[in-house]
Amino acid sequence: MSPSLLELICPAGSLPALKAAVDHGADGVYLGLRDNTNARNFSGLNFDTKTLAEGIRHAHAKGVKVLMALNTFPQPATLARWHTAIDTAATSGVDAVILADPGLMAYAVKNHPGLRLHLSVQGSATSYEAIEFYRERFGIRRAVLPRVLSLAQVENVIAHTDVEIELFGFGGLCVMVEGRCLLSSYACGDSPNTFGACSPGHAVRWEQTPKGMETRLNGVLIDRYADHEKAGYPTLCKGRFAVGAETYYALEEPTSLNSMELLPEMARLGIAAIKIEGRQRSPAYVAQVTKVWRAAIDAVKKAPETFQPHPAWMAELNKVSEGSMHTLGAYYRPWK
C-alpha cells in the first residue's frame, strides 16, 4: 500500500490543540479563522494572524500539513470577508483550503491559482458526478465525503474519479444533511451554514429543575437528564422528544462514529485520508484520539490482513465518545 494513503487529519480548534495533534502523530491538521468563514465559529476557538503563523511554523517544522477550513456559505453583504480569508490562506502558507461554496472556489482559482483546493463535507457531494464537476471546473484535489455513504458507495465514487477521497473516521455524527441543515436556524435564527456554528453558545442553557437537568436552545427544551445521566451539549438533532406515546431520540442518538475496524477495507479502497472530527474539543481530546489513531493506522499499513482494533484503543476512544458509545454509522450498510 502506498504510504501516501490513509493520512491522519486531526482537528485544531486552537494553537494548543494543533500542537497536541502534531506532537502525537497527525499527518495533517485542519483549522479555521476567528469568524464565521468556518463551520466551528465558537467563542474561544480558532486562529488569528499571530496564532496561525505560529501553528503553521510548528506543523511544517515537523512535516505536518495545515489545511484551512473556509467551509461556510457567504452572504452578499459580507462576501469580502471570505475573499480576505482566502487571501490570508494563500499568503500564510497553508497547504490547502477546504471550501464548499463554488463562488469562493472561482475566486481562489482566479486570484491564487497555485492554492490547493479541497471540497468540504459542507459541499454535500455524495456522487462521483458531483466531485468530477468540482474537479473539472475548479481543479479540486481532494473531496471530504458526507457521512451518509456506505463503503460500497464510497468504492463506487473512488472507481470513477481521480480526486483524492477523505473520510471521517472518528467523532461526532451529523444528521446526514451536512451543508444543508436548517435545524439550528429553526430554533435560534442562526444558520450553521452561514453563522458558522450549530447550536451557538449564546443560545445554550443548562438548568437544574425538580424534574432533572434540562438543556435548552434559545428556550426550546432539547433534553432532560436524570441525576445519573451525563448532560450533553444541546443540539436539536440529538434531543429527546415526545412523539406519539414515546419520548426518545427521534432524529439521532448521541453517539460517536468510530470506524477503526473498517481501516483494512478503507486501505483496500485507496482512501487518501482519515479525518478526526472535533475542533470544538479540548487539546487533551485531540492528543488522546490522535495517539490512538496513529497507532491503528500504522498497524494496518504494516499488516492489513491481520489487523484488529486493540481493546485498549477502543476503550480509550469510548472515553471521549458521545454517551460513551460508538457506531459504524452509514459505512456499514450491507443493504446499500
Q: Please tell me whether residues 63 and 123 are part of one structural domain.
A: yes
Q: Please tell me whether residues 38 and 143 are part of one structural domain.
A: yes
Q: Please tell me whether residues 191 and 229 are part of one structural domain.
A: yes
Which of 170, 168, 119, 166 minimizes the C-alpha distance to 273?
166
Q: Which domain holds residue 311?
A: 7-173+255-331
Number of structural domains found in the chain: 2
pLDDT of residue 175: 73
What residues have CB less than 8 Å from 310, skipping those under 6 apart?
Answer: 295, 296
What does DSSP say about strands 142-144 and 256-258: parallel, antiparallel, or unpaired? unpaired
pLDDT of residue 336: 62
Residue 1 lies in a domain: no
* Euclidean distance between CA atoms 197 and 162, whole angstroms: 32
The H-assigned helical ranges of the chain are 15-23, 49-61, 79-92, 102-111, 128-138, 151-159, 183-188, 263-269, 283-302, 311-319
Q: Please tell me whether residues 208 and 271 are part of one structural domain.
A: no
Residue 167 lies in a domain: yes
Q: Are 197 and 233 in contact (CB under 8 A)?
A: no
Task: Tell me the pLDDT tens digit for each residue of 27-54.
Answer: 999 999 999 999 999 889 999 999 999 9
> Which single residue is written with the C-alpha cell 504510504?
3
Residue 178 lies in a domain: no
Residue 114 lies in a domain: yes
Q: Please tell me whether residues 43 and 146 are part of one structural domain.
A: yes
Q: Please tell me whether residues 164 and 227 are part of one structural domain.
A: no
Torsion of CA 315, 171, 20, 54, to 10 degrees: 180
Q: Please tell me whether residues 243 and 284 are part of one structural domain.
A: no
Write out residues in the chain with pLDDT < 70, as ranges.
1-4, 176, 323, 335-336
Domain end, chosen from 200, 223, 249, is at 249
pLDDT of residue 19: 98
Residue 256 neighbours by CB distance under 10 Å: 21
Task: Tell me the pLDDT tens digit for each residue of 174-226.
Answer: 876 777 788 888 888 888 888 888 888 889 999 999 999 999 999 999 999 99
